Amino acid sequence: PAERFIELGVPDEFYSIKSNHVEVAWWLLEEMIEDGDVDDGEIVEQYPTYDGTVVERTPLA
């Protein structure tokens, strides 16, 4: 998945590569899905704590 962001020319500051996923700005993800650049994704809301407890997941596709 990270390679796709590089292919699309997404600037490094707009995404972060994690061990099992890529974090990207929600508005950019919505645009990428709308344009057909990626198939799906989800908006994840987290508490700003050391373990980042997930509050809500909203699938997009």
So what's the pLDDT on residue 21? 87
Q: Is the pLDDT of residue 1 over 70?
A: no
Q: DSSP labels for 1-61? A: -HHHHHHTT--GGGEEE-SS-EEE-HHHHHHHHHTTSSS-EEEEEE-SSTT--EEEEEEE-
Total structural domains within the chain: 1
C-beta neighbour count of 29 within 10 angstroms: 21
15-57, pLDDT tens digit by residue?
999 888 899 999 999 999 999 998 999 999 999 999 889 999 9
CA distance 29 to 4: 12
| Cβ-contact 5, 15 below 8 angstroms | yes
So what's the pLDDT on residue 3? 84
> Which structural domain, as residue segments, surrounds residue 9?
2-60
